[in-house]
Amino acid sequence: MAAVAPVCDFGWKAKEFRLPSTDGRELSLADVAGPRGTLIMFICNHCPYVKAALDRILRDARALQELGIGVAAISSNDAEAYPQDSFAEMKALAEAKGFSFPYLYDESQEVARAYGAVCTPDFFGFDASFGLQYRGRLDAFGRNPAPPDARRELYEGMKLVAETGHGPADQVPSIGCSLKWKA
């Protein structure tokens, strides 16, 4: 079922976490932060929106890391109901696709609840002081193929954060599969 993320609540402070990563480490918000901002993405393995946009997400994450933005992805879906979203499957995907950022597992779903994540993908872009500056979409194409010249809204928004500390005033919320909450 499709869900739409709310608009950006500018300045809302990132919530601390400590989660296992597919690379064997346990990481906190401070561990994944960048000197010019931090992007926390709620994604999962099985969502058709994430699967269709994953190469674009990976491209933009690498480009943002080059600008000093720390990047991490978190999967919070109920892996019992959705086995493709299990930690073992997360590890396999991160390795197969060569993730340049940590892929973290929120088995308890506490981090997703603390952030107010509603869909996959759901992007939370923070300034260097962990104030929310971007809660928009990746681009206008969702689960459709994007042309090579497509506007990269997430990248442009977070580039602005890296350069000025402020996100764009106009943002279009992300749309994707609803998070799969445990009963």
The token pair at 94 is 């991160």
One-letter identity of residue 17: F
Average pLDDT over residues 26-45: 98
Q: What is the pLDDT of residue 3?
A: 83
Burial of 9 by CB count in 10 Å (0-12 exposed, 13-18 middle, 19+ buried)? Answer: exposed
Query: Confidence class of residue 1 from pLDDT cuts 50, 70 and 90?
Result: low
Write the pLDDT tens digit of every residue in 110-163. Answer: 999 999 999 999 999 999 999 999 999 999 999 899 998 999 999 999 999 999
SS3 label, residue 9: coil
Question: Within 10 A of 159 (CB to CB), how many other CB atoms are there?
Answer: 19
For the chain, domains (ranges, CATH) are 2-178 (3.40.30.10)
pTM confidence score: 0.97
The token pair at 11 is 């300045």
Write the pLDDT tens digit of every residue in 66-111. Answer: 999 999 999 999 999 999 999 999 999 999 999 999 999 999 999 9
Query: Confidence class of residue 56 from pLDDT cuts 50, 70 and 90?
Result: very high
Residues with Cβ < 8 Å from 66, sequence gap 6 or more? none
